[in-house]
Structure 1
Amino acid sequence: MSHAELDRLQACLNFALDTLRREMDNSQLPPLSQCSSVEHPLDDPTSYLPSTALFDARRLSLACLGELKNLVQSPLDKRMDEKYSAYGAASIDILIKTSIIDYMSDLSNPSEGIPAAELASTFGLDSQKLIPILRCCAANGWVRETRDSSFALNRCSRTFIKGHPGRRLNLSTPGFMSIVGVMPSWVMESDWKLSRSPAQTGFQIAFKTPLQRFSWVMQNPHALIPLADHLQVLGDMSTPGIVADYPWEQLETPIIVDCGGGEGGLVTAILDAHPSFRAIVQDMENVVALTSSIMKERRPRDVESGTLNVETHDLFQSQPRIGNEYSFILRHILSMYQRHDWPDKEAAAILGNIARALGPKANSRINSKILIVEMVAVPNVDSTATTSAELFLLDGNDKRLDYDVPSHFGSASKLVNAFSVHMLTLMNGCERSLREWESLVNGCGLRITNVYPLRAHTSVIECALGTRALL
């Protein structure tokens, strides 16, 4: 009897894990362990960038595991997993908001664990409620049950300790569960089910407001700080890849303008790696004051010398930096899993304002660029993901193995697809495919000159003036 799909996936997973192990050894990384009480370098993409082969081996491993689960798990179990997955997120939220996570991390022997009854007594909670919550976290790989009803943090849960990036991601969107809850009725039954307006979404229904998401946040300061923290971490996750995987040495312009650059973390990292550049951070007035203060504290010499400037600019207004000496970065602005989410009309207005600033065009040998840093949705229409992965994972003498995983890497791309649905419910937006990016870019008098995949969930879409604009 032939088990062709199972055999191919098993071979693929073995190959991916063998490569993962080899690349970790080559990078002198410690072994992965869920029983460890310390974080692993691979746990924080904001501070550690794996080798390309290690990144691809990890992604291929996750893709194989997801396809194996789809193949082996019963559909009813899978459906039940999805239905109750929200309780896993809520359970972690409880451990963070009660400070139980911080308390467990400060134990004299954090690996040994602590009885749930002791935690309940310390925090004034009911142990009968706390035990199933902790077991739910354990089943999802966030804590360990060291003995009956006693629990310890594992390696992964340390990201939720105060000051760590996972903590800032988890407390991100007040009312998130309400938005999820109204999504089915919004899509199927509401008066807005055929509307594509950002003012007629699940967000307005869940929050009982006529305001668009960003306007609502600005009028509700209690939501602004956790949301800003959340978005800062999301941006930081791609920064090492942007700096390392885009060929900055080929960029001909001496000045980089980060449009909607927030606190300036991206240009700071670029200047550290490529000190020959000068940089400008642009953002709204309420952000610029904070960014200026941060830059004066962290990079006083660059600010004093004019190497780094911070200035106010509204993306919907004409770009004041005009000419061939500027290249522009738009990170998480146009498809907006960050601060906004603009439909095509507004995205084209933002992009068009910058495109018009790329002149003068005549008699110039310098090509200004617009670098769009975004997720690129990959349609799951075939099973060719391993073709690109093998370029990095196979040694010269290796023979191509007979296996396939989805072109979008299945489970390894869940985040991209989940963000797309999240943006749909918030603002009637979604992540664009490369074809859709080309349509948007070409409509603004630009052309895509290259796409650089990053060791992150995002890519750099490099754009320049279209042929007609250069005439």
Structure 2
Amino acid sequence: MAHAELDRLQACLNFSLDALRKEMDNSQLLPLSQHSSVEHPLDDPTTYLPSTALFDARRLSLACLGELKNLIQSPLDKRMDEKYSAYGAASIDILIKTNIIDYLSDLSNPSEGIPVTELASKFGLDSQKLVPILRCCAANGWVRETRDSSFALNRCSRTFVEGHAGRRLNLCTPGFMSIVGAMPRWVTESDWKLSRSPAQTAFQVAFRTPLQRFSWVMQNPQALVPLADHLQVLGDMSTPGIVADYPWEQLETPIIVDCGGGEGGLVTAILDAHPSFRAIVQDMENVVALTSSIMKERRPRDIENGTLKAEAHDLFQPQPRIGNEYSFILRHILHDWPDKEAAAILGNVARSLGPKSKILIIEMVAVPNVDSAATTSAKSFLLDGDDKRPDHCVPSHFGSASKLVNAFSVHMLSLMNGCERSLREWESLVKGCGLCITNVYPLRAHTSVIECALDSRVLL
């Protein structure tokens, strides 16, 4: 009996795992292990950029695993997995909030693990509550149950230890679960179900506020620091790929302006790799005050010689930097907003461009799922000279490996009526602002660089 889909996916997974193993060896990386309590370089994309072939092999492996799960898991089990996945996130939050993660990290032998009774006594908690919480984390690959009701950190959970990226990324949105819970009612029943306003979303329903999300954060400063931390880590995850995979030497403008650039992490990384540039970080006035102090502490020489500066600017106001000296970065800005507001922001930048200027939109690009059953050659995913490899049934959007992009799109929808746009949608938005897309650069990250310039027909 022929099992065509299963056979193709199995062959694709074997091929991609062999490529993964080969590229890890070529990069002199240690083998991956869930039993290790030591971090692996591949665990932190903010500090380690894999080779293109390694990045592609891992992405293809994840795509195959996701498609295999969709193929063989019962729909009812799949639905229950999705329904109760929120408890997995809540369980990790508990381990972080109680400092259990840090305590387990500081043990003299962190691989051995300790009994739940000891954890309960140490933190004044109920052991009967901790056991199912820790087992939920173990089932999701975050901790290990070394023996009955004894638990230890594994390699992956190290990201939640104080000072690590996952800690800052994890505790980002107070009331997040309330937004998730409000979303079905907002979409199907509320008075706003047909509204595309950024002030009429699941966020307002959940928080019972008329304020748009950013205005709410300004009036609730306790949420500002965790949100800023979250956005910084989200940006840092793509920074190595942006610096390495975009051809910065082709830019004809001497100054890079990072619009909404936060703490300036991206432009400082670009300056380190390409010191011929100068850079300006623009953001709201209250953010720029923090950015300026950080820059003076970390880059005093660049501040003194004018290589780097920060200035206050509202993206909904005309761009003050005008002409051929400037190219502009908009990273994780436009996905926040519906088309009307996104066009207003992009239009303000477009009107300031000179003929040599570029706008670099750095965002996730949503890939339609229309051809998920099409046969696609693995040659397009892995850089390898073997022409004998078979074709495999792989979604154009990489299936499970693209879940983050699609989940983020729903998240931005719920917060601001924004979304992650497809290339067709980007082309429409860009064209409406008198621009054209000159190139799209995929990165070794979830994001891409969409390079734009003035449409030559506008210049005539």
Q: TM over 0.5, yes or no?
A: yes
Instruction: Look up the equivalent residue of 1:368 and give its one-letter code.
Output: S
**Separation in structure 2 between the aligned mates of residue 135 and residue 34 of structure 1, nearest angstrom:** 15
TM superposition shift of 1:384: 8.1
**Separation in structure 1 between the aligned mates of residue 310 and residue 434 of structure 2, nearest angstrom:** 28
Query: 2:360, 2:449 within 8 Å by CA — same for their partners in 1?
Result: yes
Aligned to 1:99: 99
Partner-residue secondary structure (3-state), 1:310: strand
Deviations 1:303-333 (A, max 9, x none): 1111111111111111111111110000011
- From the superposition, tell whether residues 328 and 387 of structure 1 become closer, same or farther in structure 2 (CA, over 3 Å): farther
Query: 1:19, 1:57 within 8 Å by CA — same for their partners in 2?
Result: yes
TM superposition shift of 1:386: 8.1
Aligned to 1:90: 90
Aligned to 2:392: 403
Aligned to 1:39: 39
Q: How many residues align?
A: 460
- Between 267-276 and 396-405, report the one with greater CA deviation: 396-405
Aligned to 1:190: 190
1:375 aligns with 2:364: yes
Alignment of structure 1 residues 297-336 onto 2, 5 Å: 297-335=297-335
**Separation in structure 2 between the aligned mates of residue 131 and residue 456 of structure 1, nearest angstrom:** 36
Deviations 1:128-182 (A, max 9, x none): 0000000000000000000000000000000000010101111111001111111
**Separation in structure 1 between the aligned mates of residue 182 and residue 454 of structure 2, nearest angstrom:** 42
Aligned to 2:352: 357
Query: 1:385, 1:408 within 8 Å by CA — same for their partners in 2?
Result: no
**Separation in structure 1 between the aligned mates of residue 256 and residue 360 of structure 2, nearest angstrom:** 10
Query: 2:378, 2:390 within 8 Å by CA — same for their partners in 1?
Result: no
**Separation in structure 2 between the aligned mates of residue 386 and residue 288 of structure 1, nearest angstrom:** 49
- From the superposition, tell whether residues 466 and 385 of structure 1 become closer, same or farther in structure 2 (CA, over 3 Å): farther
TM superposition shift of 1:387: 4.8
Query: 2:376, 2:391 within 8 Å by CA — same for their partners in 1?
Result: no
- From the superposition, tell whether residues 243 and 190 of structure 1 become closer, same or farther in structure 2 (CA, over 3 Å): same
Partner-residue secondary structure (3-state), 1:393: coil
TM superposition shift of 1:468: 2.2
1:448 aligns with 2:437: yes
TM superposition shift of 1:469: 2.3
1:417 aligns with 2:406: yes
Alignment of structure 1 residues 36-435 onto 2, 5 Å: 36-335=36-335, 341-359=336-354, 361=355, 367-383=356-372, 387=376, 390-391=379-380, 393=382, 395-435=384-424
- Between 415-424 and 380-389, report the one with greater CA deviation: 380-389
Query: 1:385, 1:409 within 8 Å by CA — same for their partners in 2?
Result: no
- Between 145-154 and 302-311, report the one with greater CA deviation: 302-311
Query: 1:260, 1:281 within 8 Å by CA — same for their partners in 2?
Result: yes
Structure 1 length as normaliser, TM-score? 0.96
Measured on the aligned residues, the alpha-carbon RMSD in Å equals 1.3
Query: 1:56, 1:389 within 8 Å by CA — same for their partners in 2?
Result: no
Instruction: Look up the equivalent residue of 2:274 and give its one-letter code.
Output: H
- From the superposition, tell whether residues 264 and 77 of structure 1 become closer, same or farther in structure 2 (CA, over 3 Å): same
Consecutive unaligned residues in structure 1, runs of 5 or more: 336-340, 362-366
Instruction: Look up the equivalent residue of 1:470 and give its one-letter code.
Output: L
**Separation in structure 2 between the aligned mates of residue 220 and residue 328 of structure 1, nearest angstrom:** 30
- From the superposition, tell whether residues 89 and 392 of structure 1 become closer, same or farther in structure 2 (CA, over 3 Å): closer
Instruction: Look up the equivalent residue of 1:259 and give its one-letter code.
Output: C
**Separation in structure 2 between the aligned mates of residue 389 and residue 443 of structure 1, nearest angstrom:** 36
Deviations 1:395-430 (A, max 9, x none): 323324131111100000000000111111111121
**Separation in structure 2 between the aligned mates of residue 401 and residue 388 of structure 1, nearest angstrom:** 7
Partner-residue secondary structure (3-state), 1:358: coil
Partner-residue secondary structure (3-state), 2:391: coil
Structure 2 length as normaliser, TM-score? 0.98
Q: What percent identity do the matched residue pairs reach?
A: 89
**Separation in structure 2 between the aligned mates of residue 468 and residue 188 of structure 1, nearest angstrom:** 43
1:21 aligns with 2:29: no
- From the superposition, tell whether residues 227 and 207 of structure 1 become closer, same or farther in structure 2 (CA, over 3 Å): same
Instruction: Look up the equivalent residue of 1:415 and give its one-letter code.
Output: L
- Between 99-108 and 295-304, report the one with greater CA deviation: 295-304
**Separation in structure 1 between the aligned mates of residue 258 and residue 416 of structure 2, nearest angstrom:** 24
Aligned to 1:338: none
Instruction: Look up the equivalent residue of 2:220 and give its one-letter code.
Output: N
**Separation in structure 2 between the aligned mates of residue 433 and residue 388 of structure 1, nearest angstrom:** 22
Partner-residue secondary structure (3-state), 1:15: helix
- From the superposition, tell whether residues 173 and 233 of structure 1 become closer, same or farther in structure 2 (CA, over 3 Å): same
Query: 1:172, 1:227 within 8 Å by CA — same for their partners in 2?
Result: yes
Consecutive unaligned residues in structure 2, runs of 5 or more: none
**Separation in structure 1 between the aligned mates of residue 181 and residue 299 of structure 2, nearest angstrom:** 45
**Separation in structure 1 between the aligned mates of residue 123 and residue 198 of structure 2, nearest angstrom:** 42
- From the superposition, tell whether residues 139 and 284 of structure 1 become closer, same or farther in structure 2 (CA, over 3 Å): same
**Separation in structure 2 between the aligned mates of residue 445 and residue 393 of structure 1, nearest angstrom:** 36
Instruction: Look up the equivalent residue of 1:187 and give its one-letter code.
Output: V
